[in-house]
């Protein structure tokens, strides 16, 4: 279900035709399947908390936004691995690679 979400985003981004893009997306699906355990559980592999919950750092500092919610977003890389933005921004300062697949890290999208 995560995968189809990603491919929909892709299609909206590039309105011109889906044929070459589709092949590219399929290749990526293979990579996701290899790590399916991580993806299904949606655990941030850095702090080991579910990506939908606040990261360990935000939990420790008990950061909240004006609505009283914890304000800690998820970041997806081009490799489709997801982490807390807080966790990843500390790591990329040292090494700009995805800690799971070692590909160069570039952000695909951010959000909840």
| In the complex, least distance from residue 109 CB atom to other proteins, rounded to whole angstroms | 21
**Binding of Zn ion at residue 84 (CB under 5 A)?**
yes
| In the complex, least distance from residue 84 CB atom to Zn ion, rounded to whole angstroms | 3
Instruction: Name the DSSP letter for residue 65.
Output: -
CB hemisphere CA count around 39 (13 angstroms): 18
Q: Which does 72 bind (CB under 5 to 8 A by kind): Zn ion, other proteins, none?
A: Zn ion
Residues 22-61 that bind Zn ion (CB under 5 A): 44, 46-47, 55, 58
**Binding of other proteins at residue 100 (CB under 8 A)?**
yes
Residues for the chain: how many in total? 112
Alpha-carbon gap, residue 74 to 69, rounded angstroms: 15
Q: Which does 91 bind (CB under 5 to 8 A by kind): other proteins, Zn ion, none?
A: other proteins
Alpha-carbon gap, residue 30 to 43, rounded angstroms: 20
**Binding of other proteins at residue 56 (CB under 8 A)?**
yes
Q: What is the CA 11 to chain-centroid distance, rounded?
A: 18
Instruction: Name the DSSP letter for residue 97.
Output: B
Q: Which residues bind Zn ion (CB under 5 A)?
A: 44, 46-47, 55, 58, 72, 79, 81, 84, 86-87, 98, 100-101
């Amino acid at each position: 279900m995560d995968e189809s979400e990603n491919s929909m985003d892709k299609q909206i981004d590039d309105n011109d035709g889906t044929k070459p893009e589709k092949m590219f997306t399929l290749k990526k699906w293979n990579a996701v399947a290899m790590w399916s355990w991580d993806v299904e559980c949606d655990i941030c592999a850095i702090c080991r908390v579910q990506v939908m919950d606040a990261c360990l750092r935000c939990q420790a500092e008990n950061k909240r936004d004006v609505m009283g919610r914890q304000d800690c977003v998820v970041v997806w890389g081009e490799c489709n691995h997801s982490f807390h933005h807080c966790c990843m921004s500390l790591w990329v300062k040292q090494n700009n690679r995805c800690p799971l697949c070692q590909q160069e890290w570039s952000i695909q999208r951010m959000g909840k």
